[in-house]
Amino acid sequence: MNMNKRNAIKSVAACALLAGATVLFSACSEKKVEFRGIDVTGAEYARDLPLTDHNGQQRSLKDFAGKVVVVFFGFTQCPDVCPTSMQELAEVKRSLGADGDRLQGIFVTVDPERDTAEVLKAYMGNFDPSFLALRGSPEQLAAVAKDFKIYYKKVEGKTDTSYTMDHSAGSYVYDPAGRLRVYHRYGSGAQALAADVATLLKEAK
């Protein structure tokens, strides 16, 4: 092998080694996003919300592209968990200032029997007029709840209409690209949720 060919091979090998080192350095230097809630990035569930909002419009997560979407399942006659969660979400939106317009709150009722469109619209008005409430038929709700791994069950009361609902309590947080990224258990607090929403908004810029 002549000297020129030997030097050329050495040069190629050196370049390949340098390129490999550069890729390795870049991979190591990429800082993983840290959330205050449970990181569920890459989850294959909770893919969409094919339900109708309180204005009668059929909805999908694609409708909110460019926004962080926070989804909570509950019912309007819930005495504590549901109003607390929605109030915290409204607090998060206010804390974001101008970026609050890039947050979409979604409330999915697990009690479509009593939660009519009119009832849901009034309920959202107690927290933020931009928040949307979704409802569907019992069959549609069951399908969505299964996809979101949500538990809900009717608990009979003293009369036919005085029943309550047991249900999972937590918020699903989607990034502006429509990907599920974080799950917040009930009780995490507005501050933790606000931090994760701000992180996702910053990530999208």
Which residues are annotated as part of the binding site?
78, 82, 167
Q: To which residue do tokens 């926004």 refer?
A: 67
Binding-site residues for Cu cation, please?
Answer: 78, 82, 167
CA proximity to 69, closest of 39, 41, 45, 102: 102
The letter for the amino acid at 136 is G
Contact 145, 73 (CB under 8 A): yes
CA distance 109 to 129: 17
What distance in Å separates the CA atoms of residue 174 and residue 182, rounded to the nearest whole number? 7
The C-alpha atoms of residue 51 and residue 9 are separated, in whole angstroms, by 62
Residue by residue, DSSP assigns 33-87 as P--SSEE-TT-SS------EETTS-B--GGGGTTSEEEEEEE-TT-SSHHHHHHH
Dihedral sign for Cα atoms in the order 111, 68, 143, 129: positive
